[in-house]
Structure 1
Amino acid sequence: MAKAKVKEKLARWFSQPILAIAALFLGAIVGALTAFFGQVLQRVNDIRDMHPVYWIPALALAGVVIVFTYKKVGKGTERGMGLVFDVAHGKEREIPLRLIPLIMATTWVTHLFGGSSGREGVAMQIGATLGHNISSKIPVENAPRILLISGMAAGFAGLFQTPMAAIAISLEILIAGHLALTALLPATVAAITAYKVSEMLGISRFTLDLNSFSPDWNLASLLYSESGLNVYFILKLAALGLIFGIVGGGFAKLLSLSRKFFAEKFPNPLKRVAIMGAVLSVFMLLLWQGRYSGLGTNLVDMCFANPAALTAGDAGIYAYDWLFKLVLTIVTLSVGFQGGEVTPLFTIGATLGAVVATIVGVPLPLAAALGYAAVFGAATNTLFAPIFIGAEMFGFDTLPAFFIACTIAYLCNGGQCIYGQKKIRLR
């Protein structure tokens, strides 16, 4: 018995260094792949934006090609993050490597022809697939699940350049209210490695100092007064969190309902994507020739590229931008097109924040930044990831504001999540 216990302890001690070394190589590969994917995706979006009337009318045909391709060579992999979750929870045994080129190529096609979708799902699927497949060579207990989580962290960090948020989302995404801390060290190694590799290969992240918007205010002066915490302003931040939580949770719920509705209405996936692709292309063209196509970073740029205009309430953001982006993204992802949800969620949150800022009485730049993170957190049913997203993108002096808004958004999302396979525990 004593020898068995010693052997067990030695195995436990050596497992973390072994997993960390594996995560280092995993992070380097995923960082390179996500840099390649991200740069091609940016170029694809630029091509579409230059000539939207050439590309968007063929969205239905592009959708048929995507669905047909998955039917012929990608059977099972069309479930994307659903497959990743099922493998992590032990419901499935493997993630085929062919998922990687398929999800990358079909996401490029979706964006080129004007679909409204994101990219984070692709990055996390790339990392999870590689991590799970590499784990078969690692003689460590629970290596498949740990390296799958580490791969997701690497994918998110490589594409978004926010390693702390990447570590947080990978640890809390699988089970609500639970952190997979056994994967903490490998996930950290993989995320930081992927972040540095993709940075060296040309990927950069969006950052902004919120205090640069106006010399008349800074976050510290709003949160604190001579007598202590400014309770009135904190209540305003909580009100924003409530709004963002409802919208983020609503997005997740509507996405689930929309997928069921279109699957029942059009049981044939080819007919579904062809008919709804044609409808989407008409709306995308009518609504300012692709304003809501692709990632939505064009709208985020409007929120933050011109500080003076945003502060004055004249940044070119319409009151309905967030709603159109929400609806068109849900339909795009429900009928068979590929991509992720997170970047559109950033866009929905930022544009919504810019609209409700004056109603709640919070400076527009701050409200847009809080919405950027909090709607994402509410829709993914995560708490720590959106807080770190906000801090890494908008400065760590903003952490108290993001903590308040993201916490309230998390509590008010109705327990919804864009990943239907996420396990729910009581909070």
Structure 2
Amino acid sequence: MKIMRIFLYAGVFVKWIIIASITGVLGGFIGVAFNKSISYVTGLHQQYPALLFLMPVLGLLIVLMYDKAKLSGDGGTNLILHSIRHLKGVPIIIAPMIFISTVLTHLVGGSAGREGAALQLGGSIGAQVGRIFRLSQKDMNVAVMCGMGALFSALFGTPLTAAFFAMEVIAVGVLYYSAFVPCVVSSLVAYAISYLFKGFTLPYNPPKVPHLSLISMLQTGGLAILCAFISILFCLIMKYTKEGLTKLFKNPYIRMLCGGVIFIALALIFGDEYTGLGAKTIVTAVNEGHAKYYDFILKMIFTAVTMAIGFKGGEIVPTLFIGSTFGCAIGAHLGLDPTFGAAIGIVAVFCGVVNCPIASILLSIELFGGEGTAFYVVAVCISYMLSGYYSIYSSQRFAYSKLRAEYVNMKAN
């Protein structure tokens, strides 16, 4: 009997190694293509800034595409999370839709990231691989998580973060250990392919980590507390901007047209630093320790308008922008080196908006090295607890309380 169990475990192990590897290969190549597409159109926008004025026109095209595909509601990352939690299939149409719409968003300078596309592209790829292997619905959900991790890894070059993010983000307080091997394998395979074809860059230098002492821990803790409130503020701005513009412009086409004009006005007033990914500003904050004290709030506004009117992409890269600039500017006033403050800001705000503490700790190590791990862990712990039940993903659910060992099963605020 025991021998039969060993063969059973071995069979399941081999099955997931094969499925995860295939998913990782597909995710790696699609991730490279997607990342290079985003880089190309970003370069076009920087070369021809007048593309900004096409925002309402291309925005209307995105609305039309989603309307015809019957994804005119929230057909984004929230749909993926909802599908996994409720054992429902992931529509195949999501993959080409999010690829095209995210590229168009960055072509006109929309303030958005890439992880939304990564999770949706990856989820769709994983679902298709699962259908080919005729997986059960529960195994299909693991395949979807494999795809999510693979694309995240290929785009950001952080395979361990990607694997645990895919497992943690579905339901806060529950870690899907059955997806551990599949997600790690798919993420590593996708990372290897993306690395081979230069699908990502990690441009951050190790920050100047302070000596481990009570004072430096208190300084880090103080910054983490502030970052927790910044993450709440970002979630609230995202939520109420969308609700407000939806209420003001009930027709999605009118909302996109008017919202596009609003975004153009903001860009003309405050400059193009807050359009697009904002990667240069993040690198400047982390590597050089320079950021303006109002950078983070303007990025929040630009991102909220972009996503609320119907453009696509994601909120993670804007979150890194917000965290790095806030941490850089405020950390110096707390006695921390600005570069280290930027690193703490990235990790703490990231954790505060996605509620994935393990993935956040791994992100700090994969981006900045392991020297300051103790500080990053403290920042993540503080931000995770103090950020409450807020999330940038409205369909994210909290299975267990952040305050006590209690099952709550509540939706994000």
**Which residue pairs with 2:43 in the alignment?**
46
Q: TM-score, normalised by structure 2?
A: 0.92
Q: Deviations over 1:283-336 (max 9, x none)?
A: 112212x1111111121122134x3xx3xxxx3x22111110011101110111
**Which residue pairs with 1:174 in the alignment?**
170
1:82-231 matched pairs, under 5 angstroms:
82-90=78-86, 93-138=88-133, 141=136, 142-210=138-206, 218-219=209-210, 222-223=211-212, 230-231=213-214
Counterpart code for 1:94: G
In the TM superposition, residue 396 of structure 1 has moved relative to its aligned partner by 1.1
Q: Distance in 2 between matches of 1:408 and 1:366?
A: 17
CA distance 1:114–1:139, change in 2 (3 Å): closer
Counterpart code for 1:263: T
Q: Is 1:27 matched up with 2:10? A: no
Q: Distance in 2 between matches of 1:11 and 1:261?
A: 54
Q: Distance in 2 between matches of 1:139 and 1:280?
A: 45
The 3-state SS of whatever aligns with 1:164 is helix
Q: Distance in 2 between matches of 1:73 and 1:266?
A: 21
Q: Distance in 1 between matches of 2:166 and 2:73?
A: 20
Counterpart code for 2:263: L
What is the aligned counterpart of 2:226 among 235, 243, 247?
243
CA distance 1:382–1:249, change in 2 (3 Å): farther
In the TM superposition, residue 423 of structure 1 has moved relative to its aligned partner by 1.5
Q: Is 1:287 matched up with 2:270? A: yes
1:365-376 matched pairs, under 5 angstroms:
365-376=339-350
Q: Is 1:388 matched up with 2:362? A: yes
User: 2:249·2:255 contact (CA, 8 Å) conserved in 1?
Assistant: yes
In the TM superposition, residue 258 of structure 1 has moved relative to its aligned partner by 2.2
Gap regions ≥5 residues in structure 1: 224-229
Counterpart code for 1:136: R
Q: Distance in 1 between matches of 2:5 and 2:235?
A: 43
Q: Is 1:267 matched up with 2:250? A: yes
Structure whose CA Rg is larger: 1
Counterpart code for 2:393: Y
User: 1:244·1:371 contact (CA, 8 Å) conserved in 2?
Assistant: yes
CA distance 1:206–1:418, change in 2 (3 Å): same
Count residues with an aligned counterpart.
Answer: 400
Bigger RCO of structures 1 and 2 (CA < 8 A, at least 6 apart): 1
In the TM superposition, residue 344 of structure 1 has moved relative to its aligned partner by 0.6
Q: Is 1:354 matched up with 2:328? A: yes
In the TM superposition, residue 51 of structure 1 has moved relative to its aligned partner by 2.2
Q: Identity of aligned pairs, percent?
A: 25
Q: Distance in 2 between matches of 1:111 and 1:267?
A: 25
Counterpart code for 2:51: W
Q: Distance in 2 between matches of 1:351 and 1:75?
A: 34
- My pick for the range that moved more, 392-401 or 189-198, is 392-401
Counterpart code for 2:143: L
In the TM superposition, residue 402 of structure 1 has moved relative to its aligned partner by 0.9
User: 1:117·1:294 contact (CA, 8 Å) conserved in 2?
Assistant: yes
What is the aligned counterpart of 1:426 among 393, 401, 411?
401
User: 2:35·2:200 contact (CA, 8 Å) conserved in 1?
Assistant: no
Q: Distance in 2 between matches of 1:122 and 1:30?
A: 12
CA-atom RMSD in angstroms: 1.9
**Which residue pairs with 2:62 in the alignment?**
66
1:250-329 matched pairs, under 5 angstroms:
250-288=233-271, 290-305=272-287, 307=288, 310=289, 315=290, 317-329=291-303
In the TM superposition, residue 401 of structure 1 has moved relative to its aligned partner by 1.3
